[in-house]
């Protein structure tokens, strides 16, 4: 049994980690911290866990040493505290944004502050098994990508690697409200947020930088809050290189993902469900990836969807844990999603 | 032109008053106060009013004297400040809960505090033209009922007055999130509130006391937050007295509301829209009232719906203004609602 | 391995059976029928099952013999065809409404047609393990209750059995749109149904008769369609007998459900999640049951919530299968629900 | 009084025309046709019109002659029947897609059929007062643009006219379910459509051709169905020509729309409402237009929002009527939209 702890367990990503880890057959969940709720029942905040755990929230001071420690902590604060976190576990799996970008200047540009631990940046392995599985097997420091970044990377990098696209990529990203966390401001008041189509980041969303870094492409992303609690969908646009066509795009995805347990290629000619859609993925660890080509054109549209709290966060982190500790990669992540939903 | 001011204009009821008053042909909107937004543009908070008003928020200290002053202020605070408000206008139209209940003991029971201005309680005329039109024509102090109370009173009082129902009435009330106001707590975070079916007041909701007071009946009400921003729907249950039947129920409603501009009887035998539903009433000042009888039974179900911010608040208040200042009662309240919506 | 088939697998209850059965470790899913989709891929209709099954839909003529056959078939048609279904399996688990009511006259009253197989009515064991576990262990014919009936029975029968309530019970039932099935009419068009608060059965809903039958009480139920795809919530009202109080109500629920894997008592004094709510139950097999008492009153409010397609349908049916074939009762039903959701 | 008729009045665009025309002070609504509902009450289908009209649906055979006839009729069928419609009115205002494209080859390409009345194509004036007001004053044949086309044209043409953008424009268009009409198929079943993020037209949406025609630009549009009943939002991307900057973009919009009653420029530096959003526009005739520039970049993002049934359909058609018959352009179109909503 892998003994694990979760720092920041009262938030939405933290709660999702608890949901997955309490039933994970290879894991003993030993600690779940919250600054404000020490000693309180976990199911008071995460009511879906009623009857699933007797654990109460503890304070960070009560942490001892773990095989793996998950950090569902705030950006900016995480980098400052990383040295102490590294003392608490064999392996640290960070879900904050602080160790996703390798270049401290890019970090400063997108996060608006200087990185306080730039020397650590290169020591983190990106927490995306589809592209870093080998390194993850021995990684002691893992940085899980952002939710929209994961969808963008999984849909664009296979095409970039195969040399099929060129020039600038634009992305329209749509996200549900849980991405803003459990302590959001007036923007997330139900009466304001419900039914919204809110372009909250017309340019320079932080996840844009992650996608650009992974794909080696120039990326322009716009992020819109849409009516959903969970769920991210990306629509990307790129131009194919001469000679590339639908067949080669499909082949690039297929060869890349044929053996992947959590990426599905969804690109049918017809039917209501012919492209990836987030709502049937709620709770599941899948990222669905699809594409469409305008007839006789080099203009390619790619579409990706996932649950921002699962494959875009906690589920992906657990998948990394499975890889790291040599457990079956699907373990604890078998939930298939609901339809209708 | 009637010169009016709105105290508490940055909230949802306040914003709805501004929406109605800026286009009301008989009214000059002269002041809209906000404690925190003095000098700020109104359309920064109420974006639907872009291009409709050049007014900025002012502080309460900047108020002078008005023909009518609308109070969209907090419960408990309103009763303490009422003496000063009464100095500021010929007619005060209060949308808080503080002057709705005539009996200070009932107030204390339902609001959990003693009333600080019990002597004023009887000086307020209930702001419901359908039942108090004559008194409203000369009223200087008007207390607009609660949103669920308005739906309950309009659907039950005609039957009580006609002596058609007896015993205890139970009410299942459902309400959208805007009823909680623009400064709500974690319960109104989108991720928590969206899709909710939250029994937030299984017993003793304050509006229960208003309905009981108006109908002279014993009333048990349960209030549930449902997925909506605007909208209230009540399902009430009562027992008919011997001899009462569907025909007499319909006649009681029809005779009461035949000449009313804003109450419609909606009780058809079939069709998707055969009973009152809130969503087509958004923005309108209608309260739709309907009923159904179990065949061969004395068990009566009544159904009422309205927009909590309009007929359940600001629209009803404007209707009172129209009555008080001898303007056509529909003036400024003609919007008919949307379908589909 | 139990070899099972599903008749009517293209609908929502059918799809949910497939979701549960494809990953159930004790079951081999051998057939899934659809009249119109023979030979078509299952994930074309149920996209959440991509990668989970290679099975295609078959016709009913292709059925052979199964350990258990689930019927997700239409009311009225099921009773006519039941004799042939009984030939196809050791155990038949019927999810239609045709064998839920024991009395053919009550059936005729609520379904509007005469029962065509009245002799079979008494041969079916109610598919509710919480109340019929012993008989289910050897049952060959199982009739799973309606979704709202399950919530009503689980919340009211313990109190009726304990003699704590008396007289008439009224129920306000709220249901999501999936309860209408995958082939619904104009009422279920998104633009009409979204955001609805539609009292579609003010009286005489069929599930009312099931609750009355199980509880031995007079029941009046009103059913409202609310904004949700999945989810049922019931608010019931009853009067306590003299001497009954909150403590005894809680004790009645606790003693009845202490050992039950899928019923949780949720009745806290405070907190956003203090009563049962459907949205965190989506996909799970839980029914949450709670209650509230008006202070110093005999007026009791009970609240129950479940996912209509799971504990209110397919999940409950699989739980019956587990009981019938002596498997662990939770097997294949461990999903805990999502929060936020 | 202008005497008008509506053909196809039982659909959503038809119903919206009725909503606007029944209260329009310069119009007498004389006929509303429906093939299937002849003689039936209008408020049976459009319940928001209860008490607003005594008109029943009539058949098309009952039409006589009108000052203006609105066609809310199907694509393909409208072009075949246009000769007879032209006999029925002084002025025909067509809301179908059949006379929006001037080039019959483009029509064939995007609609998949040959145009049956190509000679009439050039006789229709585009029903967009912001760009064709002068011609509309005397137009006898008016073709109202598609909902997404209107948003695209209003946001892109001022920039194209000013020579500020170059090359290919891409558009991510999002639309609510009412755009699919009142007789939609399984895709619009609530359980499937609710919460959807459905890329239903990854390429070649018909409105793309309208925008390209109006702007003289190469346009690539992707259309996604999002969770809304009403509402369209477009996010467009273009590259600025050298020398163009934020100031010039703003100036281009401002000069174009300063005097327009129904286009607002919404592009603030901060705030929840800093860009156009559809939900506060429901029921209103506004199109809000905004933009953002990546710092130090030529990459421009434009954002536009409107209610697809109003400025994207019926409201725009009424605005054209006002222009055509020399009435104040805002007449009957004053509703300002709701917030929160």
Contacts of A137 (CB under 8 A, 6+ apart): A323, A324, A326
The pLDDT-based confidence of C183 (bands split at 50, 70, 90) is: confident
- Is the pLDDT at D116 greater than 80? The verdict is yes
Q: Find chains touching chain C: ≥3 CB pairs under 8 Å.
A: A, B, D
Max distance between CA atoms of chain C, in angstroms, equals 63
Instruction: Please name the residues between 225 and 254 in chain B that touch chain C, using a CB distance below 8 Å.
Output: 226-228, 231, 233, 235, 237
**Given A228, A303, A340, which is nearest D199 (Cβ)?**
A303
Upstream peptide bond of D340 is cis (omega within 30 degrees of 0)? yes
Q: How confident is the model at residue D181 (pLDDT cuts 50, 70, 90)?
A: confident
Give pLDDT, residue D55.
94
Radius of gyration of chain D (CA): 19
* B190/A186 touch (CB, cutoff 8 Å), yes or no: no
Please indicate whether, in this complex, the C-beta atoms of C301 and B202 are within 8 angstroms of each other.
yes
For B116-126, how does the pLDDT look when each residue is reduced to its tens digit (9 = 90+)?
A: 999 999 999 99
Largest Cα span, chain D? 63
Cβ–Cβ < 8 Å for D21, D321: no
pLDDT interval class at D88 (50, 70, 90):
very high
At A98 the pLDDT is 98
Q: Domain B2-144+313-324 adopts which CATH fold?
A: Rossmann fold (3.40.50)
Tell whether A224 lies on the interface with D, counting CB pairs under 8 A: yes
Nearest CB among B48, B277, B339 relative to D46 is that of B339
State whether residue D330 sits within 8 Å of chain B by CB: no
End-to-end C-alpha distance for chain A, whole angstroms: 34
3-state secondary structure at position B189: strand
The edge-to-edge listing of strands for the beta sheet with D165-175 is D198-201, D218-225, D165-175, D232-240, D299-306, D287-293, D263-265
Chain D residue with CA closest to C185: the answer is D189
Q: Which residue in the list D58, D147, D287, D320 is annotated as catalytic? A: D147
Q: Model's pTM, two decimal places?
A: 0.97
Domain coordinates in residue numbering, chain A: 2-144+313-324, 148-306
Q: Which of C58, C147, C287, C320 is catalytic?
A: C147
Q: What is the pLDDT of residue C73?
A: 97
Q: Whole-angstrom Cα distance, residue C57 to residue C43?
A: 10
Question: What digits encode the pLDDT tens for the residues C251-286?
Answer: 999 999 999 999 999 999 999 999 999 999 999 999
Cβ-nearest to A272 among D186, D231, D277: D186
- Closest-CA residue of D relative to A229 is D195
For an interface test with B, give the residue of C202, C295, C340 to mutate (most B CBs within 10 A): C202
pLDDT at site D183: 80
Q: Is the dihedral of CA D182, D188, D191, D195 positive or negative?
A: negative
Q: Is A148-306 assigned to CATH 3.40.50.970?
A: no
Buried b (16+ CB within 10 A) or exposed e, D50-68: bebbebebbebeebeebbb
- Tens-place pLDDT, residues A136-168: 999 999 999 999 999 999 999 999 999 999 999
- Closest Cα partner for A286 from A334, A322, A251? A334
Using the Cβ of A167 and the Cβ atoms of chain C, whether some distance falls under 8 Å is answered with no
If you write DSSP's letter for every residue of A132-155 in order, what string do you get? HHHHHTT-SEEEPPPHHHHHHHHH
**Exposed, middle or buried: residue D123 (CB in 10 Å: 0-12, 13-18, 19+)?**
middle
**Do residues A86 and A51 lie in contact, with contact meaning Cβ atoms separated by under 8 Å?**
no
D2-123: CATH topology is Rossmann fold (3.40.50)
In 3D, which of A11, A50, A22, A85 has the Cα closest to residue A318? A22
Say if the Cβ atoms of C301 and B195 lie within 8 Å: no
Distance of alpha carbon C316 from alpha carbon C332, whole angstroms = 11
Q: Report the distance separating Cα A223 and Cα A175, nearest Å.
A: 7
Q: Is the pLDDT of residue D184 over 80?
A: no
What are the residues whose beta carbons fall under 8 Å from the beta carbon of A130, sequence distance 6 or more?
Answer: A154, A256, A257, A260, A262, A263
How far apart are the C-alpha atoms of A41 and A20, rounded to whole Å? 17
Tell me which residues of A are annotated as active site.
Answer: 147
We find that the CATH architecture of domain D148-307 is: 2-Layer Sandwich (3.30)
Q: Is the pLDDT of residue D92 over 80?
A: yes
How many C-beta atoms surround the C-beta of residue B266 within 10 A?
22
Q: Tell me if D5 sits within 8 A of D33, measured CB to CB.
A: yes
The CA distance from A151 to A234, in Å, is: 7
What confidence score (pLDDT) does residue A231 get?
98
Taking the C-alpha atoms of residue C331 and residue C187, their distance in angstroms, rounded to an integer, is 37
* Residue count (chain C): 341
The answer to whether the CB atoms of C338 and A283 lie below 8 A apart is: yes
Instruction: Tell me if residue A127 falls in helix, strand or coil.
Output: coil
Which sequence positions of B are flagged as catalytic?
Answer: 147
- Mean pLDDT for chain C? 97
Whether residue C270 lies within 8 A of chain A, CB to CB, comes out as: no
The alpha carbon dihedral of D311, D314, D320, D323 has a sign of: negative
Looking at the complex, report in whole angstroms how far the Cα of residue C208 sits from the nearest Cα belonging to chain A. Answer: 26
Cis geometry, peptide bond prior to residue A246 (ω within 30 degrees of 0): no
pLDDT in 10s for each residue of chain B, 341 residues:
999 999 999 999 999 999 999 999 999 999 999 999 999 999 999 999 999 999 999 999 999 999 999 999 999 999 999 999 999 999 999 999 999 999 999 999 999 999 999 999 999 999 999 999 999 999 999 999 999 999 999 999 999 999 999 999 999 999 999 999 888 688 999 999 999 999 999 999 999 999 999 999 999 999 999 999 999 999 999 999 999 999 999 999 999 999 999 999 999 999 999 999 999 999 999 999 999 998 778 999 999 999 999 999 999 999 999 999 999 999 999 999 999 99
């Amino acid at each position: 049994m892998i003994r694990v702890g979760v720092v920041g367990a009262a938030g939405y990503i933290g709660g999702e980690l608890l949901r997955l880890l309490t039933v994970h057959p290879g894991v003993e969940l030993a600690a779940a911290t919250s600054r404000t709720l020490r000693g309180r029942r976990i199911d008071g905040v995460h009511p879906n866990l009623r009857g699933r755990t007797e654990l109460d929230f503890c304070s960070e001071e009560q942490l001892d040493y773990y095989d793996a420690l998950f950090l569902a902590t705030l950006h900016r604060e995480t980098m400052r505290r990383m040295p102490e976190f590294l003392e608490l576990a064999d392996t640290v799996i960070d879900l904050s944004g602080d160790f996703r970008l390798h270049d401290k200047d890019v970090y400063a540009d997108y996060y608006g502050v200087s990185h306080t631990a730039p020397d650590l940046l290169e020591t983190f392995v990106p927490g995306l098994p589809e592209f870093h599985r080998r390194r993850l097997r021995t990684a002691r420091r893992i940085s899980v990508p952002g939710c929209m970044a994961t969808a963008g990377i999984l849909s664009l990098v296979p095409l970039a690697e195969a040399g099929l696209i060129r020039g600038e990529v634009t992305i329209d990203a749509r996200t549900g409200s849980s991405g803003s966390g459990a302590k959001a401001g007036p923007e997330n008041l139900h009466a304001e947020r419900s039914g919204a189509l809110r372009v909250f980041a017309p340019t320079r969303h932080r996840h844009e930088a992650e996608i650009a870094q992974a794909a080696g492409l120039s990326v322009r992303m716009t992020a819109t809050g849409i009516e959903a609690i969970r769920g991210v969908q990306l629509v990307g646009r790129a131009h194919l290189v001469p000679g590339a066509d639908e067949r080669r795009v499909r082949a690039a995805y297929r060869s890349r993902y044929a053996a992947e347990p959590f990426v599905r290629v969804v690109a049918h000619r017809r039917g209501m469900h012919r492209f990836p859609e987030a709502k049937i993925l709620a709770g599941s660890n899948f990222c669905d990836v699809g594409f469409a080509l305008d007839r006789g054109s080099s203009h390619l549209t790619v579409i990706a969807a996932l649950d921002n709290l699962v494959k875009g966060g906690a589920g992906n982190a657990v998948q990394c844990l499975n890889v790291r500790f040599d457990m079956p990669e699907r373990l604890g992540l078998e939930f298939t999603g609901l339809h209708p939903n």
